[in-house]
Amino acid sequence: MKALKPLIVALDVETDKEALALAKRLKGEVDLFKVGPVLFLKYGGGLLRDLRQVGVEIFLDMKFHDIPSVVQKAIERAGEWGVYSATIHTVGGFEMMRQAAAAKNRPLLWGVTVLTSLDQSDLEQVGVTRKIDVQVEQLAQLAQQAGLNGVIASVRESALVKKLCGPTFQVVTPGIRLVLGGDDQKRTQTPQDAIKAKADFFVMGRPIIEAKDPLVAVQEVYKNLANSDTTSSSPRR
């Protein structure tokens, strides 16, 4: 499997036409595009097929969380559509993750640890009393033991996960912003922070797709990375 550029663009748009236009516009600068439940539930596998025909890779971010056999079958279906990667919730437990990892011809599997829209008080409301970093640490290690390829975690936990699980266990960091604050994400960081924390991929949505010219926005992200001191710590893939 070839190495991909670290920036993942989230196709958080309303229509398939917008999604395909963005993929065509950014192809070459962006290898991997995230398709979430809003677009997928509207257009289904047809959109995945059309994106593959554009010549880009797909990160299917459905965050599956169900009984083990159902999740395994869902992952098998995702593999049939030729997606590069897919997400499942690590809190679904070891057996759910293990069976998903055993799915035939599956994509890369990234386990969701703690959403970046949550903070410590949010966890406590649902009965999780451990600190966020400890929760992420435990879930990441469980995901690795179950055979997943990596986890979704904030920049703040990325370096810790790499230290615990090793350099080949992938970390994907969401909630990445050029300017911090101002939306529903509570634990945000910048692209430079993500690379410095040894993340393999970082996800950006609104800062790219809402830009006057998304291509220029992507180029600015890489320009800023190239001009920063963080590139020396960028992981090899």
Three-class secondary structure of residue 160 per DSSP: helix
Query: Rounded to an integer, what distance in angstroms lies between the CA atom of residue 110 and that of residue 201?
Result: 11
Query: Rounded to an integer, what distance in angstroms lies between the CA atom of residue 198 and that of residue 188?
Result: 16
Please list the active-site residues: 63
> Nearest 10 degrees: CA dihedral of 88, 90, 94, 96?
-30
Nearest to 87, CA basis, from 48, 126, 59, 47 = 59
Query: Rounded to an integer, what distance in angstroms lies between the CA atom of residue 33 and that of residue 138?
Result: 28
β-bridge partners, 38:
none
- Go through the chain and tell me how many residues it has: 237
Query: Rounded to an integer, what distance in angstroms lies between the CA atom of residue 176 and that of residue 156?
Result: 11
